[in-house]
Structure 1
Amino acid sequence: MEKTVDLDEIDRKILRELRRDGRLSNAGLAEKVGLSASPCWNRVRRLEEQGVIEGYTVLLNQQALGVPDTVMIEVTLDRHDDDTFARFGQALADMPEVLEAYLLTGEYDYLIKVAVAGTAGYEEFLRRKLYKLPGLRHSRSTFVLRRLKQAHSPEP
Structure 2
Amino acid sequence: MAERPEDGGPEEPGPQPPARPLDAIDQDILRMLQADGRASIRSVAERVHVSRANAYARINRLVEDGVIRGFGARVDHERAGHGTSAYITLKIVQNSWRTVRAQLRQLPGASHIALVGGDFDVLLLVHTPDNRALRELVLSRLQAIPEVLSTRTLLVFETEDLEPQS
Asked if Structure 1 and Structure 2 have the same fold, meaning a TM-score greater than 0.5 normalized by the shorter chain, the answer is yes
Secondary structure at the aligned position of 2:76 is classed as coil
Report SS of the residue matched to 1:99: strand
SS at match of 1:132: coil
* Counterpart for residue 53 of structure 2: 38
Partner of 2:6: none
Partner of 2:12: none
Instruction: Answer yes or no: is the 8 Å Cα contact 1:72–1:113 preserved in 2.
Output: yes
Task: Give distance in 1, aligned partners of 2:83 and 2:114.
Answer: 21
- Give the match for residue 84 of structure 2: 69
Q: When the two structures are superposed, what TM-score results if normalisation uses the length of structure 2?
A: 0.81
Which AA in structure 1 matches 2:105? A
Match 1:134 to one of 133, 141, 146: 146
Q: Counterpart in 2 of 1:80?
A: 94
Tell me if structure 1 keeps the 8 A contact 2:143–2:150.
no
Distance 1:4 1:25 in 2: 24
Q: By how many angstroms is 1:57 displaced? A: 1.5
Task: Decide whether aligned partners of structure 1 residues 133 and 150 sit closer, same or farther in structure 2, where only a CA change above 3 A counts.
Answer: farther
Structure-2 separation of matches of 1:149 and 1:56: 16
SS of the equivalent of 2:143 reads helix
- Is the contact made by 2:89 and 2:151 (CA closer than 8 Å) also made in structure 1? yes
Name structure 2 gaps, 5 residues minimum. 1-14
Give the fraction of aligned pairs with identical amino acids, expressed as a percent.
26
TM norm structure 1 = 0.85
- Tell me, which stretches of 5 or more residues in structure 1 are unaligned? none
Summarize the alignment of residues 3-152 of structure 1 with structure 2, pairs less than 5 Å apart.
3-77=18-92, 79-81=93-95, 84-150=96-162
